Amino acid sequence: MNTGFIRTIGRVNFIAILIILALAVAVPYGNLVAPPTSLVYVPDYMVALLGKFLTYAMLAVSLNLVWGYGGILSLGHGAFFALGGYVMGMYLMRQIGDRGVYSNPILPDFMVFLNWKELPWFWWGFDQFWFAALMIVLVPGLLAFVFGWFAFRSRVSGVYLSIITQAMTYALLLAFFRNDMGFGGNNGLTDFKDILGFNLQSQETRATLFALSAVFLAGFLLLVAWITTSRYGKLLVATRDAESRTRFLGYRPERVKLFVWTLSAMMAGIAGALYVPQIGIINPGEFAPANSIEVVIWAAVGGRGTILGPVVGAFLVNGGKSWFTGLFPEFWLFVLGALFVLTTLYLPKGIIGTVKGFWQARNARKQSQKDADVPKDTSRPATVEAPAE
Amino acid sequence: MKKLTSSMLYLDDVSVAFDGFKAINSLSLVLEPGEMRAIIGPNGAGKTTMMDIITGKTRPDRGSVYFDGDVDLTRFDESAIATMGIGRKFQKPTVFESHSVEDNILLSMSGDQTISSLLFGRKSIGEKQRIDEILATIRLDGLRHEQAENLSHGQKQWLEIGMLLAQNPKLLLIDEPVAGMTDAETVETARLLREIAKTHAVIVVEHDMDFVRDLDVKVTCLHEGSVLAEGPLEHVSANEEVIDVYLGR
Ligand SMILES: Nc1ncnc2c1ncn2[C@@H]1O[C@H](COP(=O)(O)OP(=O)(O)OP(=O)(O)O)[C@@H](O)[C@H]1O
Ligand SMILES: [Mg+2]
């Protein structure tokens, strides 16, 4: 393997990506092949749960790209996730064909129920997977582009920007609740049957969706690692820290931000599109402002501005949520709030950021003790940083 | 209407008011190509505001601002003006704190690049050499891998001057470069600026009179938004009004 490549993306990140790719094989193996008595057996519900977490991690990674590196605190990233989810949902609805309750070969059940006679124009083409796949990135990407174009050009930033992103997702929530929007109103889209002809209930399909999510997450991490080490990535961080300085050097920070913002929305859309078939439903609740805020907490807990932080945060917080809501469902929101406050106060760099800080300080100490000719080291193993448990 | 002058910078009858307060009041100033000018004046005289106007941060209410002969600067924004060749050091040193010294310089020389070339571009040999040169000029070559936030105040000032050089401007605007520097650093900075002035037009704003004397260039004293006196330092510092409002404090 090319060591230059590993050095560029970071050794620890590289190992983590390999682990995620290994999971893409190991979990489906444990579920489909291993006998239930085996140590590596993975029950169905676990595949579904971890698959969901993977898509959450993808969402957190996309948020981290704009927030951690670009300083744009989006409180509306759930909207891009939900839009990607809706696009996938529309494709899955069309896949149902005449197997719906009303057996209408073209119209989804909810349209028949509303007495609609023909398919609205914005549902055209969604029976084609390639078209839906394109829309999964284009719809969130276009919304983000238009939104960002106006916001960044008028130099809206900081809290104001956060508030309008929150308003954006809230507006979409209200819109998607309406029946006449044509997206199934408050019931959303559900009762999916199959995807690309494969039964969505089958163990194999579900394991495949899990594997795909893991591969996409690994791809996202590679993408973020590559972007953030490029000159553009350095400029992005520079824009975050001293925007006006970049302007006086001749840059246009609004373009720098618009690019990463749009890309991030597309990534969130892909996450949503992988989420929906594994969950089996998409409804307007996914646009809830609170959802977007939770994503921010995942990234903050794991460590924003680090490659792996959002993944660790998404898994830990959601794992905690699954476990905790089993015990005391009504208290979860308090725990989440407390977690955010505690992280902000005592762990501002998040878990990975803090560990990385310790590690670098230790290395720097060693380095100065040795005072030797060893080149500044990314070459030393730093396994402590790998996402544990 | 096009104005053609032979000057590097030409300000004529420029005024700007903030909430009725005239920060710049009918200011005129001409800088010749290759000239270095020192600007002095009491706090609030409008020195920084003048730089804001030249760099497109503040739009004047009245007056004309021409760069390099006939470029009307009032019609452009900060990025465009920077790309045309005006570099600026802020009064409060502003560097990219979480980047290494080297990366600060690198980022300063790519201001005209597109997103895709920033994403896919590699550091060229030419760029590497240029970085080495600049680091040597600002005497930070020993600290090239250090994070900018770990630099001393004076070193940050130098780094920011290095960033301006990397930008390769025709005109450098330098706001209070020696604030917070030791005497030795101040002397060194004067030497550095004289060096830079050999190949660039420069405007330096400074309160430190020893430093200004060291620069040994024409001096302009601003007061209440307009020019109070202009000429060699001995001439300006002998001016009664200058002594009253500024030197005699
Ligand atoms: N954006 C602004 N809005 C309102 N007032 C401003 C603005 N910029 C500058 N001023 C005012 O204009 C006056 C001139 O300020 P400026 O910063 O140009 O002074 P200066 O000569 O640089 O002073 P110093 O030596 O303290 O740096 C000050 O009274 C300042 O308060
Ligand atoms: Mg000033």
Question: pLDDT tens, B60-117?
Answer: 999 999 999 889 999 999 999 999 999 999 999 999 999 999 999 999 998 778 899 9
B82 part of a folded domain: yes
Query: Strand, helix or coil at B67?
Result: strand
**Smallest Cβ distance to A238: which of B87, B96, B112?**
B96
Minimum CA distance residue for ligand 1 atom 17:
B48
Contacts 24+ apart (CB under 8 A), A144-152: A144/A80, A144/A261, A144/A262, A144/A264, A144/A265, A144/A266, A145/A258, A145/A261, A145/A262, A148/A257, A148/A258, A148/A261, A148/A262, A149/A258, A152/A253, A152/A254, A152/A257, A152/A258, A152/A261
pTM for this model (two decimals)? 0.92
* Chain B partners within 8 Å of A230 (Cβ): 118-121
B100 part of a folded domain: no
Distances, alpha carbon B73 to alpha carbons A274, B1, B12, B84, B126, in Å? 51, 14, 12, 10, 31
ipTM: 0.93
Instruction: Name the percent of chain B in helix, strand, coil, to the closest 5.
Output: 40, 25, 35
Question: Which ligand has the nearest atom to the CA of B225?
Answer: 1
B236 part of a folded domain: yes
B219 part of a folded domain: yes
Distance CA A332, CA A317 (A): 11
Ligand 1 center–CA B48 separation, angstroms: 6
- The residues pairing with B231 across neighbouring beta strands, listed in sequence order, are B219
Distance CA A276, CA A91 (A): 11
Residue B180 pLDDT grade (very low, low, confident, very high; cuts 50, 70, 90): confident
* Chain A partners within 8 Å of B113 (Cβ): 231
Distances, alpha carbon B167 to alpha carbons A248, B88, B133, in Å? 10, 10, 13
Distance CA A130, CA A90 (A): 13
Angle between helices A253-279 and A77-96 (to 10 degrees): 40
CATH at B67: 3.40.50.300
Distance CA A214, CA A184 (A): 30
- Give the pLDDT confidence score for residue A338 in this predicted structure: 92
Question: pLDDT tens, B16-29?
Answer: 999 999 999 999 99
In the block, residue with structure tokens 């505001």: B49
Q: How far is CA A305 from the centre of its chain?
A: 15
- Give the pLDDT confidence score for residue B219 in this predicted structure: 96
Ligand 2 center–CA B226 separation, angstroms: 14
Task: Report the gap between the CA of B168 and the closest CA in chain A (Å).
Answer: 10
Task: Report the gap between the CA of A324 and the closest CA in chain B (Å).
Answer: 38
- Give the pLDDT confidence score for residue B4 in this predicted structure: 61
Distance CA B199, CA A207 (A): 67
B76 part of a folded domain: yes
Q: Which residue of B has its CA nearest to A237?
A: B98
Q: Which residue of A has its CA nearest to B163?
A: A249
* Interface probe, candidates B119, B168, B171, chain A, greatest A C-beta count within 10 A: B119
- Give the pLDDT confidence score for residue A372 in this predicted structure: 52
> How many folded domains does chain B comprise?
1
Whether A231 sits inside 8 A of B96 (CB atoms) is no
- Locate B118 and state its tokens: 């920033």
Ligand 1 contacts CB of residue B45 (under 6 A): yes
Question: Which ligand has the nearest atom to the CA of B23?
Answer: 1
Ligand 2 center–CA B90 separation, angstroms: 9
Is the pLDDT at B249 greater than 70, yes or no?
no
Share of chain B above pLDDT 70, in %: 98
Residue B5 pLDDT grade (very low, low, confident, very high; cuts 50, 70, 90): confident
Q: Got the DSSP string for A103-161? A: --SSS-HHHHHTT--S--GGGTTTTSHHHHHHHHHHHHHHHHHHHHHHHHHTT--HHHH
- Give the pLDDT confidence score for residue B69 in this predicted structure: 87
Neighbours of B59 (CB within 10 A): 13
Q: Cβ-count burial of A191 within 10 angstroms (0-12 exposed, 13-18 middle, 19+ buried)?
A: middle
B135 part of a folded domain: no
* Chain A partners within 8 Å of B91 (Cβ): none
Q: Which domain holds residue B206?
A: 9-95+152-247
* Interface probe, candidates A247, A249, A254, chain B, greatest B C-beta count within 10 A: A249
Parallel, antiparallel or unpaired: strands B226-231 and B62-67: unpaired
Ligand 1 contacts CB of residue B44 (under 6 A): yes
Ligand 1 center–CA A212 separation, angstroms: 58
Task: Report the gap between the CA of B80 and the closest CA in chain A (Å).
Answer: 6
Ligand 1 center–CA B201 separation, angstroms: 24
- The residues pairing with B22 across neighbouring beta strands, listed in sequence order, are B17
- Give the pLDDT confidence score for residue A243 in this predicted structure: 95
Half-sphere exposure of A42 (CA within 13 A, CB side): 21
- Give the pLDDT confidence score for residue A386 in this predicted structure: 38
| Of B104 and B123, the one with more pLDDT | B104
Q: CB-based contacts of B122: which residues, under 8 Å, 6+ apart?
A: none
* Chain B partners within 8 Å of A251 (Cβ): 79, 111
- Give the pLDDT confidence score for residue A148 in this predicted structure: 98
Ligand 1 contacts CB of residue B173 (under 6 A): no
Task: Report the gap between the CA of B223 and the closest CA in chain A (Å).
Answer: 26
pLDDT in tens, chain A (389 residues): 567 888 888 899 999 999 999 999 999 999 999 999 999 999 999 999 999 999 999 999 999 999 999 999 999 999 999 999 999 999 999 999 999 999 999 999 999 999 999 999 999 999 999 999 999 999 999 999 999 999 999 999 999 999 999 999 999 999 999 999 999 999 999 999 999 999 999 999 999 999 999 999 999 999 999 999 999 999 999 999 999 999 999 999 999 999 999 999 999 999 999 999 999 999 999 999 999 999 999 999 999 999 999 999 999 999 999 999 888 888 888 999 999 999 999 999 999 999 998 988 888 788 777 755 544 444 444 333 333 33
